Amino acid sequence: MSLISLRERSQLLSKLTSTELDLFESLSREMTAADGEILFEEGADADTFYVVADGRVALELTSAGRSPMIIQTLGPGELVGLSWLFPPHRWNWRARVVGASRLVVFDAVEVRRHCHENRDLALDVFQVVAAEMAERLHSTRLRLLDLYS
Partner 1 sequence: MTANTAAPSSLQPDAMLPRPFRVASTAADTVDTVTLILEPEDGEGFHFAPGQFTMLYVFGVGEVPISVSGDPGTAETLVHTVRAVGAVTEAICRLTAGDRVGIRGPYGTGWPIREAEGKDVVVAAGGIGLAPVRPMLLTLLAGRHRFGAVSLVYGSRTPGDLLYVDELHSWRSRFDVEIEVTVDRAGSDWLGDVGVVTSLLPRIPFRPENTIAVVCGPEIMMRVTADEMILRGVSAASIYLSMERNMKCAVGFCGHCQFGPEFICRDGPVFAYERIRGRMRVPSL
Which of 8, 18, 119, 148 binds partner 1 (CB under 8 A)? It is 148
Which of 33, 85, 98, 111 binds partner 1 (CB under 8 A)? It is 98
Nearer to partner 1, 72 or 118 (CB): 72
Tell me: does residue 82 bind partner 1 (CB under 8 A). no
How many positions of this chain bind partner 1 (CB under 8 A)? 24
Cα separation of 68 and 45, whole Å? 20
Which of 16, 60, 80, 106 binds partner 1 (CB under 8 A)? It is 60
Backbone phi and psi for residue 38, each to the nearest 5 degrees, phi listed first: -95, 120
Tell me: does residue 64 bind partner 1 (CB under 8 A). no
Nearer to partner 1, 113 or 138 (CB): 138
Which of 6, 93, 96, 125 binds partner 1 (CB under 8 A)? It is 96
Lay out the site mask for partner 1 across 20-59 (x = CB under 8 A, - = otherwise).
Answer: ------------------------------------x-x-
